[in-house]
């Protein structure tokens, strides 16, 4: 009987030891997935905002292009129907992946040519959140040109930036 108890005790100890050893390790498998999408880009082929010809006013005023193809003059800067020159809003075309959502932020204005003095240019703020439609979205931007009284005749230009990024 002593031998039976010793044998039973030995089997019990070995049984627990085997179970404890089995619980010391475990293996699991992870999965990695990725979906590569089209990089976002902004096409600027038609991103030129043209105010056309503006008469140097006796009183300071604004020429406003609200981004809808129209223009208003506040202080006699209107050159008359036969002298408008090239006018048009800027169009930024954002390209990317399918119907992805993206955001646009506005950058600063840099005055490039002309003696601007107290004249200024302010682009229409097109900052916001948009959705691509079949991988593209056109954003139309106008702006305001403040023309100083007696502004020196000549060519004036300014640039501004927009930044588009996926949300």
Q: Is residue 25 part of a domain?
A: no
Residue 34 lies in a domain: no
Where residue 35 falls (left for φ over 0; alpha for ψ -120 to 50; beta otherwise) is beta
pTM of the model: 0.78
Average pLDDT over every residue of 25-32: 95
* Residue 101: CATH number of its domain: 2.60.40
- Please report whether residue 33 resides in a domain: no
The reported pLDDT for the residue numbered 14 is: 53
Does the pLDDT at position 11 exceed 60? Answer: no
The answer as to whether 51 is a domain residue is yes
> Token pair 């056109």 is at which residue?
138
**Two structure tokens written together for 68:** 């809808």
> Which of 9-13, 18-22, 28-32 has the largest mean confidence?
28-32
**Residue 2 falls inside a structural domain:** no
Q: What is the pLDDT of residues 96-155, one digit of tens each?
A: 999 999 999 999 999 999 999 999 999 999 999 999 999 999 999 999 999 999 999 999
* Dist. CA 163–CA 159, nearest whole Å: 14
Task: Report the number of distinct structural domains present in the chain.
Answer: 1
In a domain, 146, yes or no: yes
User: Which residue range is the domain that position 97 belongs to?
Assistant: 41-166
Which two three-digit tokens encode residue 69? 């193809």
Apex CA 54: angle with CA 151 and CA 60, to 5°? 45
- How confident is the model at residue 9, as a pLDDT? 56
State how far the Cα of 102 lies from the Cα of 133, in Å rounded to an integer: 11
């Amino acid at each position: 009987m002593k031998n039976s108890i010793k044998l039973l005790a030995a089997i019990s100890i070995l049984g627990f030891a085997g179970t404890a050893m089995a619980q010391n390790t475990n293996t699991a498998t992870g999965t990695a997935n990725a979906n590569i999408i089209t990089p976002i880009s902004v096409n600027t082929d038609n991103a030129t905002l043209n105010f056309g010809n503006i008469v140097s006013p006796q009183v300071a005023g604004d020429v406003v292009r609200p981004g809808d193809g129209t223009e208003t003059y506040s202080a006699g800067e209107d050159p008359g129907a036969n002298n408008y020159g090239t006018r048009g809003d800027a169009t930024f075309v954002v390209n990317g992946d399918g119907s992805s959502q993206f955001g646009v932020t506005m950058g600063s204005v840099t005055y490039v040519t002309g003696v601007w003095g107290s004249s200024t240019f302010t682009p229409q703020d097109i900052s916001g959140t948009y959705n691509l439609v079949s991988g593209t979205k056109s954003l139309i931007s106008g702006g305001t040109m403040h023309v100083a009284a007696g502004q020196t005749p000549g060519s004036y230009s300014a640039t501004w930036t927009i930044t588009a990024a996926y949300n």
